[in-house]
Amino acid sequence: MNRLSLKILGSALALWSLSTSVTAAPPRSIAELTPVATLQLGETADWVAITPDAVWVASTGPFAVHRIDPKTNRLSATVPLPGEPCAGLAVGSGSLWVPMCTTPPSLAKVDLKTHRLAATFGVGPAAAEGGIAYGAGSVWLIVNKLGDLARLDPARGTVLRTDRVPAGSYNPTFSNGTIWVSHAEGGEVTGIDAATGAKTATVATGPNPRFLTAGAGAIWTLNQGDGTVTRVDTHGRRAIAIALGTPGHGGDITFSAGRVFSTMPKMPLSIIDATANRVLCQWAGPGGDSVGVGHGAIWLTDYHAGSVSRIPVKDALARCADSK
């Protein structure tokens, strides 16, 4: 088989048609989930990062990131930022990484031990609602609308390498040596080998995939175009669409303990069984927009209220069990 034939065959194997799972049961009211704590952070609250000893949440009014002690459910530090935190949070190399929509865009490095702003680097996100990832000892960030994925030195903030993904891609995540990037202005994810920069996969998703997470041998994309989640098998490259009924701007998605948790405005929480590829429960109502899971809890922001709430995972799952 010649090289051209191999290339055509590889592309055909990488782009699978999507199969769709069963639609979820009608959503429940978010009011039935009683938080054990709710913390007011600012005018808006967005982006959540979990560390072994803390939960970090970003805000505007003030521009800051806030450290919550999960042992006490109290705010233990607030770190002012020189601009709006607008494109996700990442943890790595002893730091919290915060892309900012300054002019020009920039990147904040917050020391996780001192809870202070350690540095601000002159490289930043291509757009708001973008993302940032840490893996293979580096920070990964899409730095322009052409689709340049920058590998950054965490010590100096310098660009070590730039790889090209489709223009209109903004959100990366790291999994098992690969950087996966969703094409928000298209309908696929691209895999980039972190060591070499070589493109290893292109897999079709639902329309306008934005936020993404990794877990259970898969990449999961939250598709703003049609309100689905796509499960992309990282080995077989097969894609499965899971209907959530949550199209639109905003949202977030994360993986924990065999489940995928997503949030969107008006549907602040959905939980997917990552083995069965089906929605376990959804809760409709006010709140939502970013989510993290850790320390036995779902940490769910209410963007417009500027707050974050702690909901025990076991309580949410018990409500799911009650609905069966």
Q: What is the pLDDT of residues 140-174, one digit of tens each?
A: 999 999 999 999 999 999 999 999 999 999 999 99
For 316, which DSSP code?
H
- Which DSSP state fits 141? E
* Tens digit of each residue's pLDDT (9 = 90 or more) over 36-89: 999 999 999 999 999 999 999 999 999 999 999 999 999 999 999 999 999 999
Peptide bond connecting 209 to the previous residue in cis, omega within 30 degrees of 0: no
Has residue 8 been placed in a domain?
A: no
Report pLDDT for 13.
Answer: 38
Tokens 């489709």 appear where?
166
Whether 22 is in a domain gets the answer yes
E-strand stretches of 19-137: 19-20, 28-29, 37-40, 44-51, 54-60, 64-69, 74-80, 90-92, 95-100, 106-111, 116-121, 132-135
Query: Does 217 have pLDDT greater than 70?
Result: yes
3-state secondary structure 32-56: HCCCCEEEECCCEEEEEEEECCEEE
Please indicate, yes or no, if residue 146 is contained in any of the structural domains: yes
Residue 1 lies inside a defined structural domain of this protein: no
Name the amino acid, one letter, at 112. L
Q: What is the pLDDT of residues 36-46, one digit of tens each?
A: 999 999 999 99
Burial annotation 43-65 (CB, 10 A radius, 16+ → b, else e): ebbbbbbbeeebbbbbbbeebbb
Q: Which amino acid makes up residue 24?
A: A
Q: Give every strand in the sheet of 106-111, ordered side by side.
A: 90-92, 95-100, 106-111, 116-121
CATH number at residue 297: 2.130.10.10
The whole-angstrom distance between residue 258's C-alpha and the CA centroid of its chain comes to 16
Residue 6 lies in a domain: no
Q: Which domain holds residue 230?
A: 14-322
Q: Model confidence over 97-133: pLDDT tens digits?
A: 999 999 999 999 999 999 999 999 999 999 999 999 9
Phi-psi region of 5 (alpha: psi -120 to 50; beta: other; left: phi over 0): alpha
Establish if 306 belongs to a structural domain: yes
Q: Indicate the number of domains in the chain.
A: 1
Within a domain: 19: yes
Looking up tokens 């450290």, which residue turns up?
A: 67
Does residue 189 contact residue 234 with C-beta atoms inside 8 Å?
Answer: no
Return the pLDDT at 276. 95
